[in-house]
Amino acid sequence: MTPNILLVDDNRDSCDLAAKWLCRSGYHADTANDGPTALELASHNHYDLAIIDFQMPGMNGVDLFRQMHEQHPEIVGIFLTGFTTIDVVFPAIDAGIMRVLPKPVDFNELLPVIEEYVGGPE
């Protein structure tokens, strides 16, 4: 079964580009541009992986993933962020995020990380 991925980033262009790249790589990807939309999508869909931006208006990525993980403990989280300092990385890991990657992301480096946690597309 092809893993379902939820991309969450307030930068619509980056989010859409990443979704297109994931779809071309064989994955199914949905996008959300804020925390409440991501939570709504997660309440109606099964996601194997959430790739989340840290800094978003209204709700940061740590708070978002905590809520998603409470509803769906099996979901794997990866952060993409321009803020790879300890005050971001430690709360992310404490929330259950498996990996924190710096922005801008190199898709060729992201793909093996995705495969490591949820497998490849079928």
Per-residue pLDDT of the chain (122 residues; tens, 9 = 90+): 889 999 999 999 999 999 999 999 999 999 999 999 999 999 999 999 999 998 888 899 999 999 999 999 999 999 988 877 777 788 888 888 899 888 888 888 999 999 999 998 87
114 CA to centre of own chain: 10
Enter the pTM of the model: 0.93
pLDDT of residue 82: 80
- Listed in order, strand segments (DSSP E) in 1-122 are 4-8, 28-32, 49-53, 76-81, 97-102
28 beta partners: 4
CATH number for region 10-118: 3.40.50.2300
Give domain limits for the chain.
Answer: 10-118
pLDDT of residue 91: 85
Residue matched to tokens 């946690």:
117
pLDDT of residue 106: 87
